[in-house]
Amino acid sequence: MTARHPRTPAPLLVIGQRFLTQLLIGQRPRRTGSLWPSFHSRWPRWKWVSFLFILPRRRRSPRPQSGMKVRPVLSDPEKQRGRSAAVAIAALVIAAGIPLWWKTTETYRAWLPAARISELEALQLELRVEVEVVFARGTLSPEQQKKVPASRMREQTYESCCKSKSLCLVEADHALHTLTETSCGSVVIYIIPEASALLPQDMRVYVGRSRTALLRSQVASVVGAGLPEVLAALDPQMEQVLQTMSFNHQDVTAALTDRLRPGLSTRDSLADSMRAFKSSPGYEITFSLLNPDPKHHQLHWDVEAALDAYIYPLLHKMAPVANFSVDSQILYYAVLGVNPRYDASASAYTLSADSLAHVINPVEARLGSNAASSNPVLNFLLYVPDSLHSPLIIRNDQKQEVASNAFHSPRWGGIMVYNVDGAYGNDTQFPVDIAIDMSRVMGVFLSQLRLMLGFQQTGAPPGFVLEAAGREGVAEWELDRLLWSRSVENVATASASITSLAQLLDQIANIVINDNIAQQVASAVTALQAAVAELEAGNLALALEHSREAISASERAFFDPSLLHLLYFPDDQKFAIYIPLFLPMCVPILLSLLKIFREVQQHRAEKRAKRD
């Protein structure tokens, strides 16, 4: 007999029970000519004996008939013990189990300042501009001069030797600028007498490059000599000046366009808001030179010097608004996607205004961008047409030539076409070395850059003269205007982000709110309140700083990668998860509790019956 596995199932051993006798007694029933082999197992005898305990043993008591239930008869103390055990388990489950389950399946939600956030929903912005009004000699009559309380009486005679009338106004503005120290956001208005020759006849107001304005007005003829009457007389004109230099209703509504119902802003301001980039912590500017014909034109552009001279001053002035990163590249064999038409009358190739829209897309695929940042990109392209298609001019809707030979696309950038066919004749040796006149190019790019960054080209009211910014790129009051609208935009965007984030976190109870999100939200709310306070006080620079802080903190909180609400569980899924876990546990407890309850009730009923 071969060795068998010790855990051979019982029926087989029952069959082989006769061999157990050999094990127990120590002899096997010998038979001559036995067919069975001898039993040599590798296990000692006593191990085989232990199998007896695995074998099914016969019952001592007779098997009960089927259909007859046998209930274990328990004595009263045992029943009581059973009852108290059931009650204790139920109590444990309810007292300890349910809170434990609740706590362990809770999501961590850091505390958010909900009260302050709800305050933000009803945010009221008050913008205050500091205006200093300076009356020049001759504007006030003597009694007015006595009665008007002057905070500063300055005896300053300004003798000017004006070489020509043309420079007079600029000089005057420059000199007046050095007199007073103007802070960011404030405006100084100089009232000059009606008869002054500084301004030409038709112009009433001159706005200089810094924050000063010259207003020609006759105040001496005002009835009533006190300060309030004088200022009341000047009020409408001063308001006009302030609306040009600081902000007006259209600017503010344009800054808030996405938060307002459509239809509230005018179409012009909407066009302006579509053109300029939204407020962003940084921008990337790329200057590209497109040379489709390197065989004929070898172009040299001194872009670094040009950027230093013309573009960086503007960008340095804009440093409080955003960070800028500038780069440049040259692309060879890059063609415009549109075929220009030859116009014999002008003997040049022309691009009509309609085809300009299709120029940008094929080129954009070739322009790279900085993969590291997600800032908006402004592209400025300088296209030098190939010798076959030179000269190339752009025509506007009225089929007229455009002086700048350039066009721009809102929120994208600008393209300028630079013709070089005049630089060489027919029989020069190719490739021709051509140096590009960067001042002309940068003049166009600078004006396009101003448009993209948000310096609107709104027309001035009649009678106004606005001094051009020239080489500096932007006048200080223009920058102030931008700062006002940016601050308002930042405050509006940040408060909208915070309120919608709070709403989202409220609605979805399953999202985990980490500590860093709560911290960002708290700092955003603090910065917002500080920005609003500064705007009310009239400190524009501080207000802008706080609003930038607020918007960056709110964006970081809103776009935090951990706030993904992949947590929509339909109800049937929730049941499917919890039922297999809790049902097997809860049903016995509930049933035993019910049984106890019924027994108690029965007991009480019996007692009552006994009493009765």
Residues in region 252-311 near other proteins by CB under 8 A:
258, 267-268, 270-271, 274-275, 278, 309-310
The single residue listed with the structure tokens 């309120």 is 499
Binding segment toward other proteins, per CB under 8 A, in 3-11, 50-58, 565-573, 589-597? 565-573
Binding segment toward other proteins, per CB under 8 A, in 1-9, 83-91, 128-136, 410-418? 410-418
Q: How far apart (Å, rounded) are the C-alpha atoms in residues 412 and 534?
A: 33
CB of 261: closest distance to other proteins in angstroms? 11
With CB under 8 A as the contact rule, the residue among 217, 497, 539, 547 that binds other proteins is 497
Q: How far apart (Å, rounded) are the C-alpha atoms in residues 568 and 180?
A: 62
Q: How far apart (Å, rounded) are the C-alpha atoms in residues 200 and 68?
A: 123
Binding string, 308-327, against other proteins, x = CB under 8 A?
-xx-----------------
CB of 276: closest distance to other proteins in angstroms? 11
Q: How far apart (Å, rounded) are the C-alpha atoms in residues 294 and 297?
A: 5
Q: How far apart (Å, rounded) are the C-alpha atoms in residues 348 and 265?
A: 42
- DSSP, residue by residue, 311-348: IHHHHHHTTTT-EEEEEEEEEES---SSPPEEETTTTE
How many positions of this chain bind other proteins (CB under 8 A)?
Answer: 93
CB of 468: closest distance to other proteins in angstroms? 4
Q: Considering only residues 90-119, where is the footprint of other proteins by CB under 8 A?
A: none
Of 289 and 359, CB closest to other proteins: 359
With CB under 8 A as the contact rule, the residue among 29, 224, 470, 588 that binds other proteins is 470
With CB under 8 A as the contact rule, the residue among 204, 211, 216, 408 that binds other proteins is 408
With CB under 8 A as the contact rule, the residue among 79, 295, 471, 574 that binds other proteins is 471
Could you tell me if 279 and 486 are in contact, meaning their C-beta atoms sit under 8 angstroms apart? yes
Binding string, 135-164, against other proteins, x = CB under 8 A?
-------------------------xx---
Binding string, 376-395, against other proteins, x = CB under 8 A?
x-----------------x-
SS3 584: helix
Which pair of tokens denotes residue 558? 């809103």
Length of the chain: 612
Residue 542 binds other proteins, judged by CB under 8 A: no
Could you tell me if 219 and 139 are in contact, meaning their C-beta atoms sit under 8 angstroms apart? yes
Least Cα distance to 551 among 274, 281, 251 occurs for 281
Q: Considering only residues 2-21, where is the footprint of other proteins by CB under 8 A?
A: none
Query: What's the DSSP call for residue 359?
Result: T
Of 233 and 331, CB closest to other proteins: 331
Binding segment toward other proteins, per CB under 8 A, in 40-48, 54-62, 136-144, 405-413? 405-413
Of 296 and 481, CB closest to other proteins: 481
**Roughly how many angstroms between the first and final C-alpha of the chain, as a whole number?**
78
With CB under 8 A as the contact rule, the residue among 112, 117, 140, 169 that binds other proteins is 169
Binding segment toward other proteins, per CB under 8 A, in 42-50, 88-96, 231-239, 468-476? 468-476
Contacts of 350 (CB under 8 A, 6+ apart): 340, 341, 342, 343, 392, 393, 394, 395
- Give the pairing of strands 282-291 and 377-383: parallel
